[in-house]
Amino acid sequence: MQIIRKVPVKQVLTDSSRAELKERFSQRERQLDEECRQLAFEQKKLERKPGVSKQEVERRFSREISRRKDQLRWIEYQRKQLDILPDGSELETDEVDTLITIEEGDRWEDIVQDRQIVIKDGKVIRAR
C-alpha cells in the first residue's frame, strides 16, 4: 500500500540562496498583491449586479482576500527570518508531497517520523 505524505523542504542559507529566496519572495508578494486587487475589483463588480446578495459576495471575497493577506504576512515573516539568520542556517521554504510504501510488519514510528529534504545552492544535500 502507498500513502501520500507532506515533507518540508529546507534551504541552507548561503549568499546566493539568500538572493534567490528574496527574489522568489518578492515575486510571490507581487502575485498575491495583484490577486487581492483583482478580487476586490471582482467583488465590486458582483455587488453592483442585481439579484446578487451583497452579504454573500462580501463574505466569500473577504475570505479569499484574507487568505492571501495571511500568505503575505507569512512571506514577510520569512523575509525577516532571512535577514536575521546566519549563513548555514536552514529555512523552511516549501513543502512537497511524497509517496511512501507501507507493508505489513513495517514499524509505524519509522513511517510517521519527521522527514525533510535539505537543499543547498539548488542541490539536495540530505533527504532524511
Q: What are 63-100's pLDDT values in tens digits?
A: 999 999 999 999 999 899 888 999 999 988 889 999 88
Q: Whole-angstrom Cα distance, residue 19 to residue 51?
A: 50
With b for 16 or more beta-carbon neighbours within 10 A and e for fewer, the 14-37 pattern comes to eeebbeebeeebeeeeeebeebbe
Non-local (6+) Cβ contacts of 111 within 8 A are: 100, 102
pLDDT of the chain, 128 residues: tens digit per residue: 898 999 999 999 999 999 999 999 999 999 999 999 999 999 999 888 888 888 888 999 999 999 999 999 999 998 998 889 999 999 888 899 998 888 898 888 888 788 899 999 889 998 87
Q: What residue segments make up the domains of the chain, in order of their start?
A: 2-127
Element (H, E) at 103: none
At position 17, the amino acid (one-letter code) is S
- Does the reported pTM lie above 0.85? no
54-84 and 15-48 helices cross at what angle (nearest 10)?
170
Q: Whole-angstrom Cα distance, residue 48 to residue 44?
A: 6
C-alpha triplet 75, 80, 85: angle, nearest 5°: 120
